[in-house]
Each structure stands twice: as C-alpha cells, then as structure tokens.
Structure 1
Amino acid sequence: MSARETFGGGVAVITGAGAGIGAGLARQASRLGMTVVLADVDAAAVAALREELTAAGGSAVEAVCDVRDANAVEELAETVYRDIGDVRLLVNNAGVEQFGYLWDTPVANWQRVVDINISGVFYGVRAFLPRMMATDAPAWVWNLSSIGGVAVVPLQAPYIMSKHAVLALTECLHLEVKSAGHDHHVHVQAVLPGAVVSNIFESAGGVNSGDAGAAEAQRTAMLDIKAEAMDPIAAAEVVFEQAAEGRFYLLTQPDYVGSAMAERARVLTSQEPPRLRTERRFDPAQN
C-alpha cells in the first residue's frame, strides 16, 4: 500500500513538531490527509505551523506540551482521544543535542538530554500505546533514534547515548507488542535520520567550565554539515513510504545511514575498540 492509503485520514500526534524533521513529518502527514496534532514546547512555532497547514487546506491542532512531564503527555493523550479521535500515528520525535567532553557536561544539561530524548519517548509510549492497543484499528508508533544510534562520536556522548537508548527501547518495544499479541494492528518502527536540516545544533547545550573551546569546535563542525543536510519534507516522504512498506528501520538516507549500520555491525563483530575520526573507516559526521 502507498503512504496515502496507509495513513491518509487518520490522526497523527507528533512531538517536537515545531521545527526540523518533526515539522517535516507534520507537513507530509498533512499532505497525506491526516489530522495532525502539533506538540511542542514552542507555542509560537506550532501556532505558525498550524496556520500554514490549515491555510493549505489541511487539518491541524497545536498543543503546547513538554515531553519531560509525564502528566502533561498523559493529558495530551486524553485530550486527543476525547476531542479529536483515535491516533493512527504517534511520532516520539522531540530531541535535543549536547556538545562537550562528558566530564565537562553540566548535570542539568545531562538531565535535559535524558529527560527529553529518552524519558520523553517512554512517556509518549506509556500515554498513547495502551489506547492504541485497546482497539483493532491499525496504528503506528515511530520513535526517533538517529544515525547517532548506530555510531559513536566524541564530544556528543549524551546525545549519542540517548539515541542508542531509543533504538534499543524501540527494538524491545517491537518485541513486546508482538509478545502481547497486538502486532497484527500496532506497528512499532524505529526512525534513523541522517543529516536533516534543523536547528538542533544551534540550540544544543554546551559547557560552562572545562574545555568550552572543544565543545564549540564540535558545534561548528556539526553546523558545517547543515549546508548539505537533507530537506525535512524530503526526509519525511522517504520515512512515510518506508513505513507503509512495513519496514522496521526507517532510514531517511538509506545508503548513508545503512552504511553506518553496516560499519557498526562490522566493528562489533570484529570487537575493535572505538577509533577517532581520523582513524575510522566510516565517519558519521560526514554526509
């Protein structure tokens, strides 16, 4: 089935919908005929996106929600199911970056990454998935990992760790849904974007003490990628089509991200130690 046949007419809830790939997924969901719930902490961003989508003839609702707050995510689920309808697609996308040596990372910045990138996904699953399983209607859960979920990169340890965690969480969740007997209608899929245009690097945390220069140099290196990064709508189109095909790993750039996955498998199989960029065969910071 095509993406339009699979998702069109349903309700999509997307966290972190105000920018980047979250906004791209929201725009593509709207193009496919979905009613899109735009959830983000940035009220102005989701309000502007709602206006854009509705002006184009789509159906969209803005929802200010901080995914770090389990109660807020639960309230979002209650509101959506009560006022809008059953959710066909849940996208746990909200995420943040962090630069700097791990030992220089402020505790508050570490906690921010964990609370948004990992706990935010868990809260989304916990709030929405039981409701999705309660009916026999087809439903999809997408958790946003990253090419960073199958790579190792210095000076970005909190982010890389969080994306490895989301990938493992999603793989386990896929098995749990199957074990519980709901896999005939609930589909859990992992999204692994490569470089996609967003403001995640600009808004990333840094360090207050220690080697701030190294942290900012890494930020600059990541910003250099942005000029050649993939358009968010183009990335979203690929993800929706792959999801409709029934794939588990949804890759925005199949060759590029796939090569990172293959390299990760090779390193683990050979039991090689991690290597610095100049020593590695594959460089996830290059697109």
Structure 2
Amino acid sequence: MSTAKELFGGGVAVITGAGAGIGAGLARYAGLHLGMTVVLADVDTGAVAALRAELEAGGAKALDIRCDVRDSKAVRRLAERTLGEAGPVRLLVNNAGVEQFGYLWDTPEANWERLLAINISGVFHGIRAFVPAMLAEPGQSWIWNLSSVGAVSASPLQAPYIMSKHAVLALTECLHQEVELAGHAGHVHVQAVLPGAVASSIFETAGGVEQGDTTAAEEHRAAMLRIKATAMDPLDAARVFFDQAADGEFYLTSQGFVRGVMAGRADTLLHRRTPQLLTGEFAVTD
C-alpha cells in the first residue's frame, strides 16, 4: 500500500481557510512533511502571508492568495491562479468554516446567512471552480471536504454549524457517487474529513447573539473553549488524515471517539430514538 508521501509528495495542495487551525495544520504537514506545493487561501491575508514565509523558511513551496469562499468569482480566480502559477491540483481541501452559538430563535439573520455562505456554498464554489480541471487531468487527485463530528451528531446552541456540517457530509457522499457515475473513480478520490476536537480559533471567532438569551450563547462558547484546552494539535490531526487518505478510507477521522459518535448516530436512526439532550462536555480523547 502506498504511503501519503508517495501519493501526495510533489503535488499541489489548495487549502481554503489555511490561515489558522486545521487548515494551517494541513498546510504545514503537506508542505514540510510531504513536500507538496501549498496554495494558502484565506480572507486573513496577514495569516497566510506569515504561514507562507514559515513554509518557505522550512524549504517548502507555497503561494498565499486572498480568497473569500462566499464569492464564486473569487474562488474561480483562485483556481486560475493556482493552475497558472503552481500547476494541476493534486489535493483540494475545502476547509473554510465558521461557528455560531446561541438559540436558533435568537440567531441574527446576518450570522445565519454568513455561515451558510461560507460553510456550505464555499464548498460548492470550490467544487465548481476546481473539479472539472481535476477530472480532465490523467493523474490521481483528491478532494477533501471538511465536515465535522457535528455532522453525525446533534447539539443545542450551535444548530447552524451542526446543520451546515450535516450538509457538507451529505454533499461529499453525493459527490463521491457522482465522480464514480461519471467514470472518474479510478483517478479522482473524494473523501470526507470529520475532525473531532482539534485546536483552532473557531470558537473565539464564532458568532453569538445580540438579543435574547445572550448568557446561554456565551456559556456554550466557554464550554467549547474548555474542550479546546485538551484538543488535538492540528499538525497531529493532519498526519492522521493524510495516512487514512492514503489507505483509501472515505471518512477521515481525527480521533477514535469520532467513530464512537458515528456508531451512536447510526443506532439512534436505526432504532428511531428521540434525540437526547446533549449536556456537559464530551470526551475528546480515545
């Protein structure tokens, strides 16, 4: 069986939301450990510029590009620049995402629309912009869409995020079937990434509520930040994801407890159990 370095080394990786968290961890691992050329896409130009300098100092090749994944034209420009300046894409990672805390009825409409545009439409725009060229290339390539353990569970006070990750997982499962149906399963591989607790700044930057039960929203943020204190390092998560991808797995999971949550979800659906209120802080280690 091929190793991650054998499959991905020397290729081009495009990572949206590369400025921090899982995106930055994937970029570091791809560039410094696998020898990939990494295209760093993010709205935070300072973050990706600094990461590019770090990767280049370590001997990796990198390109930083400002891209707002809500803008389909911006994502198409990202694809054009990547092809022109870096070459054909071996790995596309649709990673950009945001969080939202609070009761649904208190959630500001603007926060809801922003989250949908980034977490769901951003993935769609990435597929539209990059996948046709990947299908046309004779070499192998991979498409990773960032879902979450939240895609196989339900949790109060972060319903918009949870819902969006369910959508990304379903989209990815459908895309996998469509690539096969179109006759490209042999060289274009679609995989769903389901991180558990991996350190990032997503909880600090998450939207909250301006009216209604603001206390509940902020208490939930605090609970998530406590989970972050024991979360997995993004570089370690990246290694796990790349190794699982090289093994040909479809569901790429960072920690064993994610698979436990998947089993619990399957049992709930199989036995048509009423969703149980999730309270407290779930375990984040194997």
- The verdict on a shared fold, with TM-score over 0.5 as the criterion, is yes
Inter-CA distance 90–19: structure 2 relative to 1 (3 Å threshold):
same
Whether the 8 Å contact between 2:28 and 2:235 is mirrored in structure 1 is yes
Residues 17, 97 of structure 2: 8 Å contact kept:
yes
State the distance in 1 between where 2:73 and 2:220 align.
Answer: 35
3-state SS of the aligned residue for 2:65? strand
The equivalences for 1:94-109 within 5 A come to 94-109=96-111
Counterparts of 2:212 and 2:221, CA distance in 1: 16
1:83, 1:226 → 2: CA distance? 37
Q: What is the CA distance between 1:277 and its match in structure 2?
A: 2.1
- Alpha-carbon contact 2:17-2:95 (below 8 Å) kept: yes
Counterpart in 2 of 1:161?
Answer: 163
CA deviations over 1:228-270 (Å, ceiling 9, x no partner): 00000000000000001110000011x2100000000000001
User: Aligned ranges for residues 167-182 of structure 1 at < 5 Å?
Assistant: 167-182=169-184
Partner of 1:52: 54
CA distance in 2, matches of 1:183, 1:27: 28
Counterpart in 2 of 1:12?
13
Answering whether residue 283 of structure 2 is matched by residue 286 of structure 1, we say: yes
Letter in 2 for 1:213: T
Which position in structure 2 is the counterpart of 1:242?
244
Aligned to 1:70: 72
State the secondary structure of the residue aligned to 1:103: helix
TM-score, structure 2 length as denominator? 0.97
Name which of 189, 192, 195 aligns with 2:194. 192
Residues of 1 paired with 2:85 and 2:157: CA distance? 44
1:234 partner letter: D
Seq. identity, %: 66
Separation of aligned partners in 2, 1:270 and 1:124: 36
Q: How much does 1:273 deviate?
A: 1.0
Q: In the alignment, which of 212, 224, 227 is matched to residue 225 of structure 1?
A: 227
Matched with 2:277 is 276
Aligned alpha-carbon RMSD (Å): 0.9
In the alignment, the residues of structure 1 paired with residue 123 and residue 154 of structure 2 have an alpha-carbon distance, to the nearest angstrom, of 21
Aligned residues: 282
In structure 2, give the amino acid aligned to 1:78. E
Tell me, in whole angstroms, the C-alpha distance in 2 between the residues paired with 1:222 and 1:59. Answer: 35
1:284 Cα offset (Å): 7.5
Residue 81, structure 1, aligned to residue 78, structure 2? no
Aligned with 2:29: secondary structure? helix
